[in-house]
């Protein structure tokens, strides 16, 4: 069960074990959903005037974009930026889930609120995601830069990217897009945990049925929660991506038009003026597929790894008790 549950039976896990489960869940999920992330970023960074009667961008559909990227850049292109993305997922999963479990436990012990309520999960999930975002933002910026570049590459590897960005743009460039990220991540993550909790309760089996199908239920509930929360907060993800590639315009020229933004407000105004309201939802289709898979698999693998660790601790404890009489 995600979140501190005072009524839960079984072996308690330490904060380190919870963090490890979150990291493992993020790592496995990232490897699965990386192609959808690359597609989403390519669409988000594409400039198209709302008044134009012809296609101005390089990509105009999910299957067309997939074919074009594969033809021009090869299969590995769908895992561009995978190293910083994996580091991001491992770091983000550890901080987010460890913080979430800590906050829900603190709510139970320090406040009159029930830590199992969906509303508590919304607040704790949002705060946990904000903590993880601040810690992991540099890795997110690196991931976006790698996914955004075509051929020839601007950055040959992670070390080259870090040194080049530090030298030419300064340390603050690693935190580009942080303001729209924080604005969006609280409701996005909060809604993920909120709807996950709601769906888990709606799809809970009868008391006598036990916990059969629990992991599959986590996948289904997480997928639904991910799609709803992503749709409701999507524009801020697009703003973040546009701001993160600021100063990176030279690598984007062959993809079409490029723009520079002075900040979040200027980014919103320029997009609304040139691309209209639909511009705020560019890349939504691959993003929804990614959100369904990402959130679903994250909760699935998180619950899976928690169960594995509980079973290991239970077996160790049982074996220890079994040995005691013989040792006396």
The answer to whether residue 288 is domain-embedded is: yes
Mean pLDDT across the chain, nearest whole number? 83
The answer to whether residue 281 is domain-embedded is: yes
Q: What pTM does this model have?
A: 0.71
The answer to whether residue 72 is domain-embedded is: yes
Count of Cβ atoms closer than 10 Å to residue 160 Cβ: 12
Whether the per-residue pLDDT at 212 is higher than 80: the answer is: no
The answer to whether residue 9 is domain-embedded is: no
**For residue 34, which of 252, 238, 237, 290 has the smallest C-alpha distance?**
290
Q: How far is C-alpha 90 from the geometric centre of its chain's CA atoms?
A: 11
> Which residues have CB under 8 Å from 261's CB, separation 6+?
242, 243, 246, 267, 270
Query: What is the Cα–Cα distance from 18 to 298, expressed in whole angstroms?
Result: 13
The backbone region for 170, taken as left when phi is positive above 0, alpha when psi lies in -120 to 50, beta otherwise, is left
- Residue 55 pLDDT: 61
| pLDDT tens-place string over residues 83-137 | 777 888 888 999 999 999 999 999 999 988 888 899 999 999 999 999 999 999 8
The answer to whether residue 32 is domain-embedded is: yes
How far are the Cα atoms of 189, 242, 297 from residue 168, in angstroms, in the given order?
33, 19, 38
CATH code for position 167:
1.50.40.10
pLDDT band at 328 (very low <50, low <70, confident <90, very high): very low
The answer to whether residue 38 is domain-embedded is: yes
Structural domain count, the chain: 1
Structural domain that includes position 201? 15-327
The answer to whether residue 183 is domain-embedded is: yes
The answer to whether residue 107 is domain-embedded is: yes
Whether the per-residue pLDDT at 10 is higher than 70: the answer is: no
**Tokens representing residue 235 in the block:** 């524009």
């Amino acid at each position: 069960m995600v979140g501190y549950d005072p009524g839960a039976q079984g072996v308690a896990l330490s904060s380190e074990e919870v963090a490890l489960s979150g990291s493992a869940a993020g790592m496995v999920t990232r490897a699965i959903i990386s192609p959808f992330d690359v597609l989403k970023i390519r669409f988000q960074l594409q400039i198209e005037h709302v008044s134009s009667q012809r296609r101005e961008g390089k990509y105009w559909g999910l299957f067309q974009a997939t074919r074009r990227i594969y033809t021009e850049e090869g299969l590995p292109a769908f895992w561009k930026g995978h190293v910083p993305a994996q580091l991001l997922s491992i770091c983000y999963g550890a901080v987010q889930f460890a913080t979430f479990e800590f906050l829900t436990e603190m709510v139970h012990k320090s406040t009159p609120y029930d830590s199992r309520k969906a509303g508590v999960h919304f607040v704790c999930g949002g705060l946990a995601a904000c903590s993880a975002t601040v810690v992991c933002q540099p890795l997110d910026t690196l991931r976006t830069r790698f996914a955004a570049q075509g051929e020839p590459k601007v950055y040959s590897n992670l070390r080259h990217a870090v040194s080049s960005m530090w030298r030419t743009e300064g340390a603050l460039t690693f935190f580009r897009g942080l303001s729209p990220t924080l604005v969006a991540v609280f409701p996005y993550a909060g809604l993920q945990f909120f709807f996950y909790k709601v769906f888990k309760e709606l799809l809970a089996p009868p008391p006598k049925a036990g916990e059969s199908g629990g992991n599959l239920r986590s996948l289904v509930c997480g997928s639904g929660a991910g799609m709803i929360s992503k749709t409701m907060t999507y524009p801020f993800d697009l703003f973040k991506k546009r701001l993160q590639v600021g100063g990176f315009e030279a690598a984007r020229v062959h993809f079409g038009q490029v723009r520079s933004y002075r900040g979040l407000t200027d980014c919103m105004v320029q997009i609304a003026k040139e691309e209209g309201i639909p511009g705020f939802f560019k890349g939504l289709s691959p993003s929804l597929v990614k959100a369904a898979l990402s959130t679903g698999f994250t909760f699935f693998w998180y619950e899976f790894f928690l169960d594995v660790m509980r079973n290991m601790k239970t077996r160790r404890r049982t074996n220890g008790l079994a040995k005691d009489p013989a040792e006396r």
